[in-house]
Amino acid sequence: MLHHSSASAYGSLMLIGEHSVLHHAKAVVSATKQQLQASISPRDDKQISIQSHLGNLCFPINHIPQNHTFKFALASIAYCYEHLHLHQGFNIHYHSTIPTTIGMGSSAATVAATVKALYQFVNQTIDQHTLWKHCKSIVVQTQGRGSGADLCAAIYGGVCVFTATQGWLKHISSSLLQTFNWQLHYCGYKTTTDEVLKITQKFEQASPKKSQQIYQKMAQLTEEFITALIQQDSLKLALAMNRYQQQMVALHISDSTLNEMINSLYQHPSILGAKISGSGLGDCILSFGTPDSNTVLPKYTNYHINF
């Protein structure tokens, strides 16, 4: 029997492990305080209606359209239509506090909340790891490639150590996440993850040995970052972040604007560490420093992070 259902998922923030996580390395990803909620109510017909702050869309349940704005929601609905044998129409309403213009995992949260809500809608249960696996297959099918890191934070919450093959490994708590000032600095534009991955794939094909060395170094630095968090060592944490950024530059995903922002952050006495957060070629820089670092990069949009 179909009934009203509702599910939420967290926004996410990659702390370290970008790109190398696609090559069997660990990553550290954190949930954000912002969330996305999907609420579903049954209809008396065979139509599906989507309502969100991005707009509205209505279509027959057996003819799910192509639509760029709602591509992750539609891919999730299509997946559940096939796997849950949906026959009855429904309304799905999205309410989100996750910014969509910057890389804080709004797409992953959409997929996780939609799938979880649709399972509840047909009165089926799903555990977190199975939910992650289903959602990862949806994301990979939609954008061609992906580690599932954003989905891990969206589903499990907290600060997670993660691999693309095993999923969630453990949660990490560290005083460094609370006692220092962590910020995202948005550069003003964003290249989609699938476009960045096409660029890195070309680099891998053109320079296989060099790219392998970069990913190996990234994997090592991620392990150092995890150890520094656990040991509450702010200097080692900063060093791991800053050296990881050097590998992002070597991978050609830190453009001139990001490089300029990074250099400005490094020159500020209150900033200890800074690196790209996310796939690169736009989007955000992640920094951490002492509490008086709020005034850094005033011409950019800055988001204070509460772990």
pTM above 0.85, yes or no: yes
CA-based nearest residue to 244, from 204, 291, 285, 186:
285
Q: Which of 143-147, 172-176, 239-243, 281-285 is predicted least confidently? A: 143-147
**Residue 294: predicted pLDDT:** 66
pLDDT-based confidence at 293, cuts 50/70/90?
A: low
SS3 161: strand
Q: How far is CA 186 from CA 81, 131, 262, 272, in A?
A: 37, 30, 12, 18
Q: How far is CA 223 from CA 15, 93, 144, 220, in A?
A: 12, 40, 27, 5
Contacts of 112 (CB under 8 A, 6+ apart): 7, 9, 131, 135, 151, 154, 155
Mean pLDDT, the chain, rounded, equals 94
Mean pLDDT of 41-69: 95
Show me where the domains of the chain are located.
5-171, 176-304
Mean pLDDT of 230-246: 97
Instruction: Given CATH 3.40.50.1820, say whether it is the number of domain 5-171.
Output: no
d(CA 140, CA 231): 35
CATH code for the structural domain at 176-304? 3.30.70.890
CB atoms within 10 A of CB 286: 24
d(CA 35, CA 154): 8
Burial class of 255 by CB neighbour count within 10 A (0 to 12, 13 to 18, 19+): middle
Burial class of 119 by CB neighbour count within 10 A (0 to 12, 13 to 18, 19+): buried
pLDDT-based confidence at 135, cuts 50/70/90?
A: very high
- What is the per-residue pLDDT across 175-232, written as a single tens digit (0 to 9) for each? 999 999 999 999 999 898 889 999 999 999 999 999 999 999 999 999 999 999 999 9
- What is the per-residue pLDDT across 161-185, written as a single tens digit (0 to 9) for each? 999 999 999 999 999 999 999 999 9
The pair of structure tokens assigned to 15 is: 């702390």
Higher pLDDT: 145 or 118? It is 118
